[in-house]
């Protein structure tokens, strides 16, 4: 084993650079297409809306397309998992209960589904909180919101978290009927 010549060092350098280039291209290939971030706001209220009572609560769903291609929002649903082996049902995507939100549009706006979501756009929908809370209490708060799009056949899921005393709206925003 003698010393390495300059040809060997050039070959090592070329192997490292080409491997890095392949890995970088693989990274960009995996990140192509629409990518959605889904966020939820539970027990939200609509302010200055003449179409909705001031004390009515909603679950607001916001999806933002942070990818580089458009997609179409086709449906909004809720799924609940119950029983001792709820996590097994969750992994298999076999919900104990499922619900479809027929029109998740904010009152006064056009119907929210189907809706084209271009790259960089935001989609908003809402569900009446009373119906969501009933489903959550039946399933011990093991409920997920699923947003179905044209390119994600299994949907994008986000869990509805149980509101805590700190997570609720401040007393100034709560209607007098809910203050204790």
Task: Determine the average pLDDT of the residues in 120-147.
Answer: 93
At 172 the pLDDT is 45
pLDDT tens for residues 4-46? 888 999 999 999 999 999 999 999 898 898 999 999 999 988 8
| Whole-angstrom distance, CA of residue 47 vs CA of residue 58 | 12
At 4 the pLDDT is 82
pLDDT tens for residues 47-89? 888 888 888 899 999 999 999 999 999 999 999 999 888 999 8
| Whole-angstrom distance, CA of residue 113 vs CA of residue 115 | 5
Is 0.85 surpassed by the pTM of this model?
A: no
The residue among 41, 17, 36 whose CA lies nearest residue 167 is: 41
- 10 Å CB burial of residue 71 (0-12, 13-18, 19+) is buried
| Whole-angstrom distance, CA of residue 75 vs CA of residue 121 | 17
């Amino acid at each position: 084993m003698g010393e390495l010549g300059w040809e060997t060092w050039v070959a090592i350098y070329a192997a490292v650079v080409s491997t890095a280039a392949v890995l970088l291209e693989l990274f960009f290939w995996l990140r192509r297409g629409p990518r959605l971030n889904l966020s939820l706001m539970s027990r939200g209220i609509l302010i200055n809306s003449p179409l909705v009572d001031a004390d009515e609560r909603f679950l607001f769903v916001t999806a933002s397309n942070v990818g580089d291609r458009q997609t179409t929002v086709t449906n909004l649903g809720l799924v609940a998992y119950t029983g001792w082996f709820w996590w097994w049902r969750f992994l298999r995507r076999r919900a104990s209960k499922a619900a479809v939100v027929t029109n998740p549009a904010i009152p006064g706006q056009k119907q929210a589904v189907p809706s084209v979501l271009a790259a960089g756009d935001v989609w908003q929908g809402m569900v009446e909180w009373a119906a969501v809370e009933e489903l959550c209490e039946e399933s011990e708060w093991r409920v997920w919101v699923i947003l179905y799009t044209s390119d994600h056949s299994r949907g994008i899921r986000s869990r509805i978290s149980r509101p805590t005393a700190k997570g609720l709206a401040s007393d100034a925003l709560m209607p007098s009927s809910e203050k204790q």
